[in-house]
Structure 1
């Protein structure tokens, strides 16, 4: 056990003292925030351009309905023929030309409208144009049938559903998206952690093996102790990094809630509690929804599944590192390792978000190779404690089996040089 402690300490110190580890621990949250801000800023810039659309309205009924906005500028070319309008649009480099032909009825007009453009049209602008034309044609149909437009418009009802639970606590309409974002982020970051730290273990084994240092170490340490020491030492470094990120994230969340004046306590429906601005109320409800998530269970589960998933996959990575002589040779074994992780992500985003308690979501949250990711995506939606317990027990059982299996491969492969092993040869090593 003393040898194991020494190896764990050595691997932990080697990781923590690494300059890259220190920089990325404190820089990663800022990078994530910066990337989100950059995407939002780029989206804003992308939407700032004015989309110039010329139109030829042969009916003479629509020209008043095309009103300029911040994003769209309409130019009336109805006094030109279609061919001349096309030539002018090309010369002046407008974004598109809308053609509304004169037909005998509204139904034929709706089927005959054309939009000329060289590049793919802006979808939102196209939807706005379709809405304008559809509203005008609908109004014309009402008039032709002798319907009272004022009566119809006054009869329209605007519904704004307020969401509350049975105890009277309000929640936002974004509640489902918040759960999806938190669950998806937890699953995705876990996958990245497993890949990053698993590769660290594999590279460490390959490096010591290629430098022949492993031959000296093996003379005084059992192969299983060496493998476990690398796995545990690297995992403790990952836990330290995770704790620092939780502290930084928690501080950021409380800072944002303080800035927006949000109270983490549920917003009651009592008349005495009012919010001056609808936007501020929406922000407050969203922040309250975040605080109402099972954050404690989510964080503790992330830690448990991080350790479980890491031990499971790191044992595989260590076995691969022992079996090959270089990182290039390891690529032939990477697909079976990455595939379950990718499957967990796809199941999470396409099944869990759609139906978190469905059969597919439940089954994959129990399979050890995918459960660390899929179960984390399910937890924000509420998962019975017994399902989490079963999932963890199955994961622990699989870890024990995989570590035993990887230890067999590690013991033989760590002293093998100069030959690329095949799956058949690795299977033989297990029998030794």
Structure 2
């Protein structure tokens, strides 16, 4: 193993000195930030659009319900026909025309109402209008039962149950989902890193094999040392590139938002509003402050530490498989039959992890996938923002998951080295799964 540092250094320098590697290292953050800024800017323009809806109300109802709101205003028509109102709305370029017919029965008035638009209306607009009609109908029905307007407002008041831990700390709605998204983000980074840089390892092995350079190298270096050196050297180059992306991307994002005067929180301001028109919920500033306090309580140091642990172990496992595949084939086209079984556990971890962790982070599915070595680097990271110990991930599950990863890494490296040793000097034949299994016995 005395030549391992030399192999690592060679692989690392070969990657970082590559012209395409340098270009993508500095160009990728610019492209990613440009995409984020473009999305934020377009969202800002879209949210700033004011929808004007013409209102022709021939009934005695809905006299005060349709008021100007964020993003929507109403122009009231009176003493004109429906066709004239349609023509006027279309000529003025309004978003649409809401027609409420005349009638004494509110139920029939509501059933006969129409929203006329040039194209299919926005779901958010329909939800708002439906909510107004539903609110008014509910009020009318209760008044017929003898419920006064004051009583109706009391009945219709918003209620949300208070939740807290046994220690008395208040909980807020949606924080578990936010934590799962944070953990899922870390898991997604691991998946992308494995796919991208695992592919680098595989292509590097294929290039040396097809150019016959490997025959010279293998005469003075053991196949296991060469494989391990490629994996570690390529991973270090990837970490270097990744670190540059994070630092430069973060700085560019801050500068871009400052230059274009974009508020990142406004990107979610267009969420649909339901039919509940009860008392107002806490202001946006108050809600953001509560969520910020909860996010600060997340054990970030612990999360980043275990991210690095799972990242290293997960990458070493998968890159060993990529290296073995690269040694077994002669060109990148032949790798397609072997790639899907590698990517499948990663995709499964992302999708099953999100569904299981969102609904029950300590349920049997979430626990099982966070212990299985091929999916644990992603699913366990989704569970860790909830903490370790009581209420979070049990310590024994965390320790067992890491031990299983280490054992799996040793086993896969040992098996991959067998395939690597045989396949690295074989040419002109596309191997099958049966042949790969036979190589493991050599």
Q: Indicate the TM-score class for this superposition, using the shorter chain for normalisation.
A: 0.7 to 0.9
Distance 2:364 2:170 in 1: 30
> What SS is found at the alignment partner of 2:68?
coil
For residue 68 of structure 1, report the CA deviation from its aligned partner: 3.0
What's the offset of the Cα at 1:114?
Answer: 2.9
Q: Equivalent residues in 2 for 1:108-257 (5 A)?
A: 108-153=108-153, 157-159=157-159, 165-167=165-167, 169=169, 173=173, 175-240=175-240
Q: Kindly tell me: are residues 288 and 34 of structure 1, through their superposed partners in 2, closer, same or farther at Cα, counting changes over 3 Å?
A: farther
Question: 1 CA distance for matches of 2:129 and 2:395?
Answer: 51
Indicate conservation of the 8 Å contact 1:170/1:285, yes or no: no
Matches within 5 A, 1:392-431: 392-431=402-441
TM-score, L = length of structure 2 = 0.80
1:364 aligns with 2:369: yes
Write the deviation string for residues 112-158 of structure 1: whole angstroms up to 9, x where unpaired.
Answer: 43333343311221111112222333333344444321344356645
The aligned counterpart of 1:43 is 43
Q: Which runs of 5+ in 1 are unaligned?
A: 253-276
Deviations 1:303-323 (A, max 9, x none): 111111111111111112112
Q: Distance in 1 between matches of 2:246 and 2:300?
A: 11
Contact 1:171 1:288 in 2 (8 A): no
What's the secondary structure of 2:193's corresponding residue? helix
Q: Return the offset for 1:359.
A: 1.2
CA contact under 8 A between 2:61 and 2:106: conserved in structure 1? no
Counterpart in 1 of 2:274?
A: none
Q: Higher relative CO (CA 8 A, sep ≥ 6), structure 1 or 2?
A: 2
Where 1:66 maps in the other structure, the secondary structure is coil
Counterpart of 2:343 in structure 1 is 338
Unaligned runs of at least 5 residues, structure 2: 253-281, 387-391
SS of 2:380's partner is helix
CA change 1:419–1:104 in 2 (3 A) is farther
Whole-Å Cα distance in 1 between the matches of residues 246 and 163 of structure 2? 30
Q: CA contact under 8 A between 2:142 and 2:152: conserved in structure 1?
A: no
- Residues 1:280 and 1:73: Cα distance change in structure 2 (over 3 Å): closer
Among 362, 384, 398, the alignment partner of 1:388 is 398
How large is the Cα RMSD of the aligned pairs? 3.4
Judged with a 3 Å threshold, the aligned counterparts in structure 2 of structure 1 residues 38 and 348 are, in CA distance, closer, same or farther, namely farther
CA contact (8 A) 2:59 2:109 kept: no
Report the Cα distance in structure 1 between the residues aligned to 2:366 and 2:195, rounded to whole angstroms: 22
Q: CA deviation at 1:335?
A: 1.2
Q: 2:177–2:358: 8 Å Cα contact kept in structure 1?
A: no
* 1:66 counterpart residue number: 66
CA contact (8 A) 2:32 2:249 kept: no
Q: Does residue 95 of structure 2 align to residue 99 of structure 1?
A: no
Rounded to whole Å, the distance in 2 between the matches of 1:26 and 1:175 is 35
- Give 1:288-327 correspondences, 5 Å limit: 288-327=293-332
Task: Call closer, same or farther: CA 1:65–1:170 in 2, change over 3 Å.
Answer: closer
Q: What are the superposed Cα offsets for residues 366-405 of structure 1, whole Å, 9 maximum, x if unpaired?
A: 1111111111111112211110111112222222222222
Secondary structure of 2:348 counterpart: helix
- Give SS of 1:2's match: coil
Secondary structure of the 1:119 match is coil
Give the secondary structure class of the aligned counterpart of 2:367: helix
